[in-house]
Amino acid sequence: MKEPKSILITGGSSGIGAALALGYAAPGVFLALTGRHRKRLEEVAERCRASGAEVATGIIDVRDPEALAAWSAAQDLRRPLDLVIANAGISAGTGTFGETDRQSRHIFAVNVDGVMNTVLAAVALMRPRRRGQIAIMSSLAAFRGFPGAPAYCASKAAVRVWGEALRGMLGRDGLEVTVICPGYVKTRMTARNDFPMPFLMETDRAAGIIMRGLAANKARIVFPRRLYSLVWLLALLPPAWTDPLLARLPEKPASPDSQAGA
Ligand SMILES: NC(=O)c1ccc[n+]([C@@H]2O[C@H](COP(=O)([O-])OP(=O)(O)OC[C@H]3O[C@@H](n4cnc5c(N)ncnc54)[C@H](OP(=O)(O)O)[C@@H]3O)[C@@H](O)[C@H]2O)c1
């Protein structure tokens, strides 16, 4: 089992990213955490420092490839990165208004371009030394398109498949790539969902599963298993059977943010 000592996490200011940062925080560990919300990011950083970790923070939008690459390189100079987790992501409500053009494009920009920006910057740093691990945050929503979240499902499917292929390609250069597919986790992202979320999990528990999976260099970390089985079944069955069922599922409520494309 590997114990990474230098870790970069995008979206470290909240939810799963923050729980991972806190999970890895320990004496001798360097954490490079990014987010956009300064106060939340600094609060997480302080808690990690209290656990003995050395922490650098960067207020960086993952949609900005140059800023992300420059910041990642600066952190790598400080302590060569063992693990980069491309975690930052967004979802948005589709209830009432459906999915606006702006909203769909924004979700792709953060969840696909943002992940690519993070991963490509990491590959550029790790490939020459033929060592390092990259984790890509996908979702159980990556296995079937759900009418309540078209862009979100598609963006997560794109990074899942990209990550699976990268694992084979970059494995030849000594790099490890893992795709993470969680079900519902209790974070700011799911807080607005006003429908029952089966097997909803606490962030700490989700972070523990992810950390163990990464230590074992799993190709795919997927949980909870019962929801995974259900999603697999939905993906296998003919759409003519499943579409009527999926059309009846509740949708995430629209928010002023989602309509503004934030
Ligand atoms: N919660 C779930 O049920 C669930 C399930 C499957 C997959 N996931 C995935 O897990 C990841 C983390 O989500 P979460 O549930 O922990 O939600 P969250 O609490 O809302 O955290 C999202 C993180 O992404 C960051 N972020 C968003 N847009 C960004 C941007 N443009 N540039 C930089 N950082 C940005 C946020 O930073 P700021 O707040 O500082 O902007 C925040 O740290 C996402 O990729 C999500 O799709 C979540």
> Would you write out the chain's pLDDT as a tens digit for each of its 262 residues?
679 999 999 999 999 999 999 999 999 999 999 999 999 999 999 999 999 999 999 999 999 999 999 999 999 999 999 999 999 999 987 766 778 899 999 999 999 999 999 999 999 999 999 999 999 999 999 999 998 899 999 999 999 999 999 999 999 999 999 999 999 999 999 988 888 889 999 999 999 999 999 999 999 999 999 999 999 999 999 999 999 888 888 777 776 544 433 3
Q: How confident is the model at residue 151, as a pLDDT?
A: 95
Please, are residues 227 and 183 in contact by the beta-carbon 8 Å criterion? yes
In this predicted structure, what is the pLDDT of residue 96?
66
**Which residues have a catalytic role annotated?**
152
* 116/133 Cα distance (integer angstroms): 15
Q: Please say whether the dihedral angle defined by the alpha carbons of residues 72, 75, 77 and 82, taken in this order, is positive or negative.
A: negative
Q: Tell me the two tokens of residue 49.
A: 């420092």
Q: State residue 245's pLDDT score.
A: 87
pLDDT of residue 258: 45
160, 112 contact by CB (below 8 A) = no
* Ligand 1 lining (C-beta closer than 6 Å): 10-11, 13-17, 35-37, 40-41, 61-63, 87-90, 110, 114, 137, 139, 182, 184-185, 187-190
User: In the prediction, which pLDDT does 256 show?
Assistant: 52
pLDDT at 85: 98
- Is 105 in contact with 261 (CB distance < 8 Å)? yes
Probe ligand 1: pick from 10, 16, 111, 117, max atoms within 8 Å of CB?
16
Round to whole Å and give the CA distance between 217 and 212. 9
| pLDDT at residue 252, as a whole number | 74
